[in-house]
Amino acid sequence: MQYISTRGGAEPLTYCEALLEGLAPDGGLAVPETMPAVGADLLESWRGLTYPELATEVLALFATDIPRDDLARMCAAAYASFPDEVVPLRSIGGGISLVGLSEGPTLAFKDMAMQFLGQVVEYALARTGSVLNVLGATSGDTGSAAEHALVGKERISVFMLSPQGRMSTFQRAQMFSLDDPNIHNIAIDGVFDDCQNLVKRLAGDLEFKRAQHLGAVNSINLARITAQVVYYFWAWLRATDREGAREVSVTVPSGNFGNILSGFFAKQMGLPIRRLVLATNENNVLDEFFRTGLYRPRAAAETLATSSPSMDISKASNLERFLFELVGRDASRVVRAFGELDETGAIDFTADQPRFVDEFGFLSGSSTHADRLATIRAVHETAGEIIDPHTADGVKVAREHLEEGVPMLVLETAKPQKFAETIREAIGVELEYAPELREMLDAPQHVVDMADDADALRAFIEANALR
């Protein structure tokens, strides 16, 4: 299996090469040269597997340059700290089940991919004898999941950018309480898109990228996308019976388009997914795109601070991988589209919009703060569950797209403890914290405040990078 760039200007790479490369040298993203196929018989043969065993089977289709025994060992290690079931499914009534993706060490779905990423990046670096300075941006959960997966890895350091004042109290504590010489938290004076733009700018400076051994763990990283594919197969196997390939629909709270893109990959591989339903908050650029075909990212000043902060994103990096498929894998059209975006501030795919549903199965919707509160309250009253505000965005939109006889799965994104203020507002409950979480919240925080300045960031990395 080889990986090519969505912009067509880079040499094909192996899985390990692509995951260390991050952003391709031509500015594009790595995608499989040919998407692996999973037939009905193979899919059914996976029903009795544990989650690490299923991860080994699915990831082996992508990581063909890693021996099977090594891959199995890394998958077992990645999910060893999770409960036995790893990803539980829980019905909340009305034809909707939650896919529990927040059982990992940082209580968010990002752990599902990051714990594997920590294993496979360390493995790839050991094979080459090199080091990696991870440069990432987070709107809330990616940063803590990455840092907790990579802390203590002697060949890896992390430079994680976050927007000043835009994360929850819990999210900030989870990142900034880490005290490790190779973990560098940098709070940027701006919004998430400013952080993401800095990452892309430095990753696009190939001389600097090579000199500083820069890599990425944001959702543009190939290993994260492929690791997330696994739980779509896992959820389908548990939401269906053995009598044929019954379809499910999946609703995904979406910010940077990585989580739902993994579902799109699973659907392309042959998993019987009827609809992929994208849910946004008030920053509804992606909802507008899937409803109209017009992609119009907002400026930083227009990106709203909401009570589902991990989705306060206006420029969805992973959308490029979907656009690559939309234009028939014509890299020149992808390049032209992003040239149009740079010139006009928008990309016009209105003529292709009917294909979003008919050919690819995408639907979308958005919600507000009032919707989140009402949904959290309703789920608590009817099902006894407390859901976080991002999952509430998903449940609200999922209810708008239910179909008779088609199970609807909603991907849970985080434990409610990460957003205690919103839970208190919705249902008047003070959530309890385990002693170790209370200790984390009270611990000293380690963070550097920085202007939205690429030169200042370059200087900081040069002074602190592993070599």
44 vs 139: CA distance, rounded Å:
37
- How far is residue 66 from each of residues 71, 79, 88, 274, 453, measured CA to CA in Å? 6, 18, 29, 32, 39
SS3 category, 79: coil
| β pairing state of 294-295 and 347-348 | antiparallel
Reported as half-sphere exposure (CB side, CA atoms, 13 A), residue 90 has a value of 18
> Of 50, 67, 57, nearest to 16 (Cα)?
67
| Size of the chain, expressed as the number of residues it contains | 467
Neighbours of 412 (CB within 10 A): 28
Angle between helix 68-78 and 110-128 (nearest 10):
140
The values of phi and psi at residue 169, to 5°, are -55, -45
463 vs 442: CA distance, rounded Å:
29
Q: Which residue has the tokens 């193979």?
A: 42
Neighbours of 444 (CB within 10 A): 7
- Contact between 213 and 113 (Cβ < 8 Å): no
429 vs 437: CA distance, rounded Å:
18
- Contact between 98 and 130 (Cβ < 8 Å): no
334 vs 445: CA distance, rounded Å:
42
> Of 63, 88, 90, nearest to 75 (Cα)?
63
382 vs 265: CA distance, rounded Å:
34
- Contact between 382 and 70 (Cβ < 8 Å): no
- CA dihedral over 147, 148, 151, 156, signed as positive or negative: negative
250 vs 242: CA distance, rounded Å:
19
Tokens of 385: 């569950």
Q: What is the dihedral of CA 159, 451, 170, 383, to 10 degrees?
A: -100
User: Quick check: is 110 catalytic?
Assistant: yes
Q: Which of 110, 153, 209, 315 is catalytic?
A: 110
Q: Angle at CA 206, nearest 5°, toward 63 and 143?
A: 60
> Of 186, 72, 63, nearest to 464 (Cα)?
186
Active site residues: 110
